[in-house]
Amino acid sequence: MTQTSAVLREGQRAIPPEIIVLAGCLIALITFGPRAAAGLFQIPMTEAYGWGRDVFSLAIAVQNLLWGLGQPFAGAVADKFGAVRVICIGALLYAAGLVVMAYATSAGLLNLGAGIMIGFGLSGCSFNLVLGAFGKLLPERWRPLAFGAGTAAGSFGQFLFPPIGNALIQSFGFEMALIVFAASVLLVLPLSLALATRGAAATAAVNVGPSQSIAQALAEAFRHPSYVFLVLGFFTCGFQLAFITAHMPAYLKDTGLPVWVGGWTLAVIGLANAVGSLYSGFLSSRMSKRWLLSLIYLGRSVAIAAFILLPATPVTAIAFGITIGLLWLSTVPPTSALVMLMFGTRYMAMLYGFAFFSHQVGGFLGVWLGGILYESMGSYTFVWWLSVALGVASAIINLPIKERPVERPVPQAA
């Protein structure tokens, strides 16, 4: 094994890169799946308890916000002490949140389980932590494809879980579906051992950049205009994805389409995203990352505009799922690659975590506004067009990004 190869040692055993990538991809698949299927539970839960869609939307919006809020802190702890503990605690909290959600007979319990517990749980065990571990544990030549593979695996979870969730809800009720999802999340615990690190000492060989404190790394990042542009552009990604995930099944049902169309639309988004994310990881090492991001955001706006202007049919819904799926998380490989290019791997998980926080603030607003404006206007039309406008804005925001390492004329003390 070469110097930066896989790296982790329990005793002095090095874990092969293939095993690290496989375990990380399985973690991403499992943790992304239940969250991606959240929209399936909106109608059965609101009908069972007499809630408006704004009640369910607020819980999922809180989930998105707290997932983003907790991400930089989870990333900082993983950067310093290793990823395994963070991933295990996150998975346990995630599974417990799904159980609370299953038996949430009040809006308060729904916010606790689906919002707070799952939100903070995701911040500790989702694909973002996996990407940070890949950046530290894998040889440089493995990283671009691994970033794409990790993102694609999360997408494949989105393909698998909605149809399974639909079948479980129809056969056993939404409560049992959530319990099954909770049990699946516990599989993350043994898988996380392959991503074990012993903190900074174990990963010093692959930490690129001068020794810095956390405060110095943050100050450097937020003084760097390209990082700020990247963070701002990522807001739109979260807005669009969270709104579609939470409200697409309900939107399609409102148009008179059968329930299965919503589940399969989310599923094909996940399947297409697996392809799009892998190809995005491939392109990230072969073309300008800022141009790739701009084209992705612009492509989303075109796809959304076409979808809402065409009549809603199973064919247009599935076609939209495939199109938007190819662009779904394809922003992640170039975004994570830009963070690593600018600042190195030492604080990769934390700095990507702050970008992801912007993503999740967008997600909070996308889900919450979807519910609020539906209740006040009776449709999702305004939020769809807002998604189009934000996509165009992000396409423009990413263009000034400079794709080079941050200038460090004077080495900083640790």
Low-confidence stretches of the chain (pLDDT < 70) are 1-13, 144, 197-211, 408-414
How far apart (Å, rounded) are the C-alpha atoms in residues 221 and 218? 5
**Which tokens go with 284?**
């990230």
Alpha-carbon radius of gyration of the chain: 20
Say how far apart CA 202 and CA 258 lie, in whole Å: 53
Distance CA 413, CA 364 (A): 38
Q: Which residues contact 389 (CB under 8 A, 6 or more apart)?
A: 301
* Beta carbons of 297 and 394 less than 8 angstroms apart: yes
CA distance 45 to 352: 34
Output the pLDDT for position 138: 80
**pTM for the whole thing?**
0.73
Q: Which residue from 396, 141, 154, 359 is spatially nearest to 242, judged by alpha carbons?
A: 359
Q: Give the integer Cα–Cα distance in Å for 114 and 19.
A: 32
For residue 221, the Cα-to-chain-centroid distance in whole angstroms is 21
pLDDT of residue 118: 95
Alpha helix stretches (DSSP H) within 112-256:
118-125, 127-137, 143-172, 174-185, 188-191, 199-202, 214-222, 225-254
In this prediction, residue 1 carries a pLDDT of 39
Give me the DSSP letters along 272-316. Answer: HHHHHHHHHHHHHTTS-HHHHHHHHHHHHHHHHHHHHHS---HHH
